[in-house]
Structure 1
Amino acid sequence: MAAKKWLLVVAVAFLLLAYAAPVPALASSTPYESYNYNYWEEAVPAPAAYVPSRSITGSDLGIGDFLEPADMVVASSGLIYIVDSGNSRIVCLDDKWNVQSIITGFDNAGKSDSFKNPSGLYIDDENNLYVADTDNGRVVVLTKEGALLRLIEKPQSDILAGEFKFNPLKVTVDKAKRVYVVAKGVYEGIMQFDGNGSFIGYVGTNKVKRDYTEFLWRFLSTKAQKAQMVLFIPTEFSNIDIDAKGFVYATNIDPDSREPVKRLNPSGEDVLKRFGYFDVRGDILFRRVVGPSKLIDVKVQENGMYSVLDANQGKVFTYDDEGNLLYVYGGKGNQTGTFKIPVAIESSGENQLVLDRGKSNIVEFKPTKFGASVNEAIGLHYNGEDKLAVPIWQDVLRLNSNYDIAYIGIGKSLLMEKRNGEALEYFKLGMDRDGYSVAYKRYRREVMKEHFGTFLTVLLILAAAWAAFKLVSSRRQKRMLTMPGFAAQSLKGEKAP
């Protein structure tokens, strides 16, 4: 009997170990908490969407350590460019992480020229390089071989102050060759130049949030007191990117802004969709000692998605084109996959890359089954293939039953198929009030249309029965009045005057 008990204990222990074995491996591959927010803005645990696969330094590449790298961009050809600011160079790698070239200077009218603390870079469709050469006060345009095409230097315009200093930090270019520049100390908006490098104007000025209490004190203060008060100055943009349609995405570092991410049309108007449960601003809940998210970079992904990098908490937040938060990954720390001072985010195929200035390295992240499924389903929905997205969303729900966006995605597909009754349940599970209202109206109309004939028939039968009853009652009353005994009894019963 004792032997049987021991065998049972060993068997149970073996099963527990078998099921528990994968857990430490999963935890070790994600040195950060994975979560999302629900309708009530509560942080809900979620499977990791991306996990770190490797970390690359300059020493690993055989070119010496990076020194305060500031930016990174992946060209359409797959080449990876790193702006190594402290070493005043541009490092080019292929998708296998082999060094292709190092650009430290260029020929400028027969003279050797070089960069001075470059901070930003963009590669256009022709693989031309636009380098924000910050301390030299210019944007340098080079061919992919490193030959100088032109320089965009301090602009000349009546709208610029006489003491204006042109120190470009970030740069991007649209298909019309218009150049957009985020410059240091420029609060009027993003600077815009034409294809020849002539200054056009500003785009997308940040709105100022006024403190009306201080405004009142300013009104009552003397000139000396006013000079010591804080000015109502807009915050400057921190980074920019551009999508395939020519819309400029921009981030600012104002922690109090409810719109730290903008999508600017050619007129400079913000057209970013914000239909999610909460604002597109990074973390909703945060520790006071850490503070709110400080968004310093934005990367436009495929199918309307975009990722923003939070330097304050070292996290990456990815949204769909409607402003729904899809997933969060990253964090502050010393392990691979966590950051010290993250400065740039890029995509290389299905992988994502984050440049960390504090650790002078690049961290590569690969999508998990959960992350790849979410990306695929979002892509199908964005391209109008909601029916094909349903089985993908169902896979997502098997991995995370609390993923509201999956319920909403299935609900939208059912709504398109006019399966309104089923759509109601999914919209309810996804807490999508607008979708539920649309499905309810359609379902109510559908029920009324389906049962209208029966309802009308019953109504007509009831009306006919009522009419027949009234007719029979009327005839019976007349017949009783014509009876002799009834008439005599009625006269006898009348009171004398």
Structure 2
Amino acid sequence: MARTVKRWLVLLAAVSLLLANAVPAAASSAPYESYNYNSWREAVPSPDAYLPKRTISGSELGIGEFKDPSDVNVSSSGQIYILDSGNSRIVILDEEYKLLRVMDGFTREGSKETFNAPGGLFVDEEERIYVADTGNSRVVILDAKGQLNRIINAPESDVLATDFQFQPLKLTVDHVGRVYVVAQGVYEGIMQFDETGKFIGYVGTNKVERDYGEYIWRMFSTKAQRAQMVLFVPTEFSSADIDHKGFVYATNIDPGSSEPIKRLNPSGEDVLKRFGYFDVKGDIRFRNNTGPSKLIDVKVLGNGMYSVLDATQNRVFTYDDEGHLLYIYGGKGNQVGTLKTPVAIEQSGDHQLVLDRGKNNLVVYEPTRFGTHVNEAVALHYQGEDTEAVHIWQEVLKLNANYDIAYIGIGKSLLMEKKNKEALGYFELGMDRKSYSVAFKRYRREMMKEHFGTFLTAGIALIFILILARVAVKWRRRRQIDREAGLH
């Protein structure tokens, strides 16, 4: 029954995809192939979740070409900040991507100072601008008007080496003003500074991925041989972002890491949920023999969703709060919407922005019907409004009848409504064995409870019949023995 329904939905999806082309957001064909992974870890075609809308370059803004841009951030007011590192300036746009102003430095004690190869920036709720001024070994904090607030210089601490070089690359800030800095050559974790700029320690540490063959060989090697071997050291973080609860999302640069994405609580423990079919690490199968994903940036989207940027295939992977891969978009190329050397990802309203250092521009992507519906349904599920999410999941299935997460979402809604039998079919279609087991146990308990009286009556009647049968057998045997005794 469930498989028959799925076949009809596949046919309906094909018709719906043709109709979807009439929608402006999906009218132009994508310059890349969109796909997702099923429960068998197979890459299967998928409707486009995001399509390129436009690109923004320095020449288009009338300020000269960007040069090696390194980061982009959107403030709570909607202003877009582009860190044009090669030109040592910050370009600020409004929500309509029109130029507001250019910030090429700041005044300190009466003299003009500039940035030197800055690597990252962040804008907090009060429009304070935090700049990782890499070449000058400092973090510069400016107010909304570009006036100097304070500077965080190289920290001094007993836990730091005497020859430590402070080279901040990326940063993020929580709601109380704590600054989290990803620094070059730091393997102990993300550097944490309090609201006054004092270094207070590290947050999170990447696990060492040991090569046990080399480890055993090391045990039997000479001192000279061991000196030439690769050291087992943790990898560096590549980027960080923070959610409204103060949890830090971080990516590391090791493409072979088992945990390339982390969600760190205040204690530095990784609490990222990984309940999907496969690990949260970008591509599951290496496409075109290019190797595993190298995740270089992460953006928290809200409602439990987050996107990561892959520098291997130049793609964006988006996950929900439980670790399910929602959709993938982007790719390599020279067309509008494809990327050459992506370095940062950001969100502006319902648009997603990817900064491309290779092309020196900012690419603006807008959601299609499919992407919009998925985002809405996931948000409702995260907020506990599963019943309201059902009709949106049904719209998703019209566009992609093979979208397992939609079946799972509908199944969870039915489970909350105690429609356990109906939920079983949807969990089977979504290949969610764990949820199917829960629904089956509840359905079995429901059946037992509903028919308990019948089962009890039948059981008592069966016991009574067995007793009568046993008495009858004994009585018959006794009569037979008495009859045989009378003959003798």
Mark yes or no: TM-score above 0.5: yes
Matches of 1:480 and 1:298 in 2, distance apart?
89
TM-superposed deviation, 1:459: 2.0
Rate the CA distance shift 1:450–1:125 in 2: closer, same or farther, 3 A: same
Matches of 2:484 and 2:298 in 1, distance apart?
99
Matches of 2:278 and 2:238 in 1, distance apart?
22
TM-superposed deviation, 1:289: 4.1
Matches of 1:235 and 1:452 in 2, distance apart?
59
Matches of 2:98 and 2:405 in 1, distance apart?
39
1:490 aligns with 2:487: yes
For 1:331, the aligned partner's letter is: G
Q: Give the match for residue 403 of structure 1.
A: 403
Matches of 2:413 and 2:487 in 1, distance apart?
75
Q: Give the match for residue 152 of structure 2.
A: 152
Q: Give the match for residue 434 of structure 1.
A: 434
Matches of 1:102 and 1:263 in 2, distance apart?
34
Deviations 1:371-410 (A, max 9, x none): 1000000011000011111111111111101000001111
Q: Give the match for residue 235 of structure 1.
A: 235
For 2:487, the aligned partner's letter is: S
1:120 aligns with 2:120: yes
Two-structure CA RMSD over aligned residues (Å): 2.0
Q: Give the match for residue 10 of structure 1.
A: none
Pairs within 5 Å for 1:44-443:
44-287=44-287, 289-443=289-443
2:362 aligns to what SS in structure 1? strand
Matches of 1:381 and 1:372 in 2, distance apart?
14
Deviations 1:263-316 (A, max 9, x none): 001111111000100011000112464221110000001100000000111100
Q: Is the 8 A contact 1:29 1:52 kept in 2?
A: no
TM-superposed deviation, 1:212: 2.2
- Structure 2 portions without partners, runs of 5+: 1-17
Rate the CA distance shift 1:474–1:224 in 2: closer, same or farther, 3 A: closer
TM-superposed deviation, 1:211: 1.5
1:161 aligns to what SS in structure 2? coil
Deviations 1:349-383 (A, max 9, x none): 11101100000111111111111000000011000
TM-superposed deviation, 1:28: 4.8
TM-superposed deviation, 1:476: 6.1
For 1:170, the aligned partner's letter is: K
TM-superposed deviation, 1:40: 0.6
Rate the CA distance shift 1:20–1:426 in 2: closer, same or farther, 3 A: closer
Matches of 2:371 and 2:260 in 1, distance apart?
25
2:81 aligns to what SS in structure 1? strand
Matches of 1:20 and 1:308 in 2, distance apart?
31
Rate the CA distance shift 1:278–1:478 in 2: closer, same or farther, 3 A: closer
Deviations 1:440-490 (A, max 9, x none): 1111111111111111112222333333444455556667777xxx46752
Q: Give the match for residue 456 of structure 1.
A: 456
Using structure 2 for the length normalisation, give the TM-score.
Answer: 0.92
TM-superposed deviation, 1:67: 0.4
Q: Is the 8 A contact 2:35 2:43 kept in 1?
A: yes
Rate the CA distance shift 1:106–1:21 in 2: closer, same or farther, 3 A: closer
Matches of 1:476 and 1:229 in 2, distance apart?
90
For 2:69, the aligned partner's letter is: P
Deviations 1:222-255 (A, max 9, x none): 3333322211121111100000000000001101
TM-superposed deviation, 1:175: 1.4
Rate the CA distance shift 1:119–1:451 in 2: closer, same or farther, 3 A: same
2:379 aligns to what SS in structure 1? helix
Matches of 2:125 and 2:248 in 1, distance apart?
16
Rate the CA distance shift 1:466–1:174 in 2: closer, same or farther, 3 A: same
Rate the CA distance shift 1:332–1:480 in 2: closer, same or farther, 3 A: closer
2:451 aligns to what SS in structure 1? helix
Identity of aligned residues (%): 66
For 1:109, the aligned partner's letter is: E
TM-superposed deviation, 1:111: 1.3
Matches of 1:43 and 1:460 in 2, distance apart?
56
Q: Give the match for residue 33 of structure 2.
A: 33
2:48 aligns to what SS in structure 1? coil
Say how many residue pairs are matched. Answer: 470
Rate the CA distance shift 1:490–1:36 in 2: closer, same or farther, 3 A: same
Q: Give the match for residue 495 of structure 1.
A: none
Query: Which stretch has the larger CA shift, 298-307 or 206-215?
Result: 206-215
Q: Is the 8 A contact 1:54 1:363 kept in 2?
A: yes
TM-superposed deviation, 1:199: 0.9
Matches of 2:135 and 2:477 in 1, distance apart?
109
For 1:311, the aligned partner's letter is: A
Matches of 2:190 and 2:484 in 1, distance apart?
102
Q: Is the 8 A contact 1:61 1:97 kept in 2?
A: no
For 1:374, the aligned partner's letter is: V
Matches of 2:183 and 2:261 in 1, distance apart?
17
Deviations 1:109-154 (A, max 9, x none): 1111111111100011111000000100000000010000100001
For 1:207, the aligned partner's letter is: K
Deviations 1:76-129 (A, max 9, x none): 100000000000000100011111111111111111111111110001111100
1:301 aligns to what SS in structure 2? strand
For 1:121, the aligned partner's letter is: L
TM-superposed deviation, 1:319: 0.1
Q: Give the match for residue 15 of structure 1.
A: none
Greater Rg over alpha carbons, structure: 1
Q: Give the match for residue 42 of structure 2.
A: 42
Matches of 1:453 and 1:317 in 2, distance apart?
53
Q: Give the match for residue 465 of structure 1.
A: 465
2:437 aligns to what SS in structure 1? helix
Rate the CA distance shift 1:35–1:472 in 2: closer, same or farther, 3 A: same
Q: Give the match for residue 5 of structure 2.
A: none
Q: Give the match for residue 12 of structure 2.
A: none
- Structure 1 portions without partners, runs of 5+: 1-18, 492-497
Rate the CA distance shift 1:459–1:356 in 2: closer, same or farther, 3 A: same
